[in-house]
Amino acid sequence: MKSNRNLTRGEGRRLGNAALIAFMLGSLLLLSVVRARFSPIAGAAGKPGEAIKAEEEEEQQAMKKMEALVETGDEVAAASEEEEETQTKAADGGGGGGVSSTVVVAGSTDHLRKAVCYESSRRSDTCEATGDVRVQGRSQTVHISPLEQEWKVRPYCRKHDAFAQSHVKEWALRPLSGADPATAAPHCTINSTATAFVLSTGGFTGNPFHDYTDVLIPAFITAHRFAGEVEFLVSNFKSWWTNRYLQIFQRLSKYEVVDIDNDEEVRCYRSVVVGPTFHKELGVDASRTPSGYSMVDFRAMLRGAFGLERAAAKPSGDRWDIRHRPRLLIISRRTSRAFLNERAMADMAMSLGFDVRVGEPDIVTDVSKFARLVNSADVMVGVHGAGLTNMVFLPAGAVLIQVVPYGGLEWLARGTFKEPSSDMQIHYLEYVIQLDETTLSEQYPKDDPVLKDPSSIHKQGWDALKTVYLDKQNVRPHLGRLKLTFMEALKLLPHGHTN
């Protein structure tokens, strides 16, 4: 319950640390995630030697304190830089880790009857087939009839990111025919009337932002239309990860999640989808879903999955109820981008009439417990980071205040949490850290480019930017200025207008 405790977190931390250490032993993923941050593919520039050194240091650090999660803006940055290039590549065959069969260009697939793999977005390849479908998980093969040609696909929504894709198993779709013994149909050991849905939980999973934007929301986009009649065949299965989000899978599917790479069965279906479809960062494009479902439906699904009571940020009807006061949740961070005056911030918020909570989500925090805490809040404030992904649990009409660290990072704040907020029906406010509110001004001389010219650091590439502005910085917001933002948030809530 540490996440639920009001302002005292010491005990929870010790408990959390022990669990963290145990957890890390089993988790190679984190190291790969760290490496991704310093991979020349994900980062824009930087000297290779330095990158490797940084990588090693960072790995050791990660072993120590588990702050090893990919920063949420990482791929956003890479994506926007690489977008053009990726689209060009797609036109001549799908770039690194994409559909690796023959060219997938609109029009050229007309001759295929039912089965087709296509680039469902610049980040995802999706294959859909109906007919005689036989899945052999051990060899990552789907035998399909009718199917005219073989296809290869990595079912994870980061196709522009070769590093992420290198941690995603490639699946083959093969024509099934009785005549040639080499392609002879394997005998079904299990028949199912559901649609098979092959997806991977490799890549960058483990960081909540990636969990949602790369896997859970794309899985929802693909699976929601089947109303439970869909079987999740999960490649690069990690039981801790699946268990973390089990309630979501149970909401989307009537069937148990299958660890498909370790499956000895030949599972037979009448239809299959290989690879979820990506729409946008933390979002669903309703115009591209079969029945117009949207982030509103995704969030309703989450409320059902985790038993969240509040669809909307409304005050309790009973004026003596503690819920009559609007609740402000401070998302706390420890090792970087921490609020150094958290208690004073909380006191100030209380003086404005807020019921204040402090929550510190991490990899060992129980998702449904934290979801309930977030859902109980009317305002959530936190420094840019994966923890803000918890906004998915806020009730409609709530306010998200993203505190943007010093260093010209507004673009990063926009792509990750600002833009997704409106589809979630969440009001968005921003508090941009100024020079006299950042610890960077204590670490660097006054005329250092880090302080005077952030854009010159940006030009050195993502690694440089991240090291300086995301990893080395803590913040101490001005209470007077922050108060104005909190008051603005209050005005957006229905609480102020009821009496």
Q: Specify the stretch interacting with ligand NAG by CB under 6 A; choose among 28-36, 93-101, 186-194, 287-295.
A: 186-194
Residue 181 CA from chain centroid, whole number: 43
* Closer by beta carbon to ligand NAG, 268 or else 358: 268
Instruction: Sort 495 into a burial class: Cβ within 10 Å, 0-12 / 13-18 / 19+.
Output: buried
The residue within the footprint of ligand NAG, chosen from 17, 88, 191, 443 (CB under 6 A), is 191
Q: Specify the stretch interacting with ligand NAG by CB under 6 A; choose among 115-123, 133-141, 153-161, 187-195.
A: 187-195
* Closer by beta carbon to ligand NAG, 191 or else 498: 191
* Closer by beta carbon to ligand NAG, 191 or else 243: 191
4 and 327 in contact (C-beta within 8 Å)?
no
* Closer by beta carbon to ligand NAG, 193 or else 287: 193
The residue within the footprint of ligand NAG, chosen from 31, 172, 188, 479 (CB under 6 A), is 188
Amino acid at 339: F
Site residues for ligand NAG, window 242-301 (CB under 6 A)? 268
Q: How far is the CB of 267 from ligand NAG (least distance, A)?
A: 10
**Binding-site string for ligand NAG from residue 386 to residue 425, where x marks contact by CB under 6 A and - marks none:** ----------------------------------------
Q: Specify the stretch interacting with ligand NAG by CB under 6 A; choose among 25-33, 188-196, 243-251, 391-399.
A: 188-196
Q: Is 189 in the site for ligand NAG (CB under 6 A)?
A: yes
Non-local CB neighbours of 28 within 8 Å, separated by 6+ positions: none
* Closer by beta carbon to ligand NAG, 108 or else 191: 191
Q: How far is the CB of 46 from ligand NAG (least distance, A)?
A: 55
Q: How far is the CB of 191 from ligand NAG (least distance, A)?
A: 4
Q: How far is the CB of 190 from ligand NAG (least distance, A)?
A: 6
Q: How far is the CB of 140 from ligand NAG (least distance, A)?
A: 22
Interface with ligand NAG (CB under 6 A), residue total 5
Q: How far is the CB of 266 from ligand NAG (least distance, A)?
A: 9
* Closer by beta carbon to ligand NAG, 2 or else 134: 134
Q: Specify the stretch interacting with ligand NAG by CB under 6 A; choose among 15-23, 189-197, 430-438, 488-496.
A: 189-197
Please give the residue ranges that form the binding site for ligand NAG (CB under 6 A).
188-191, 268
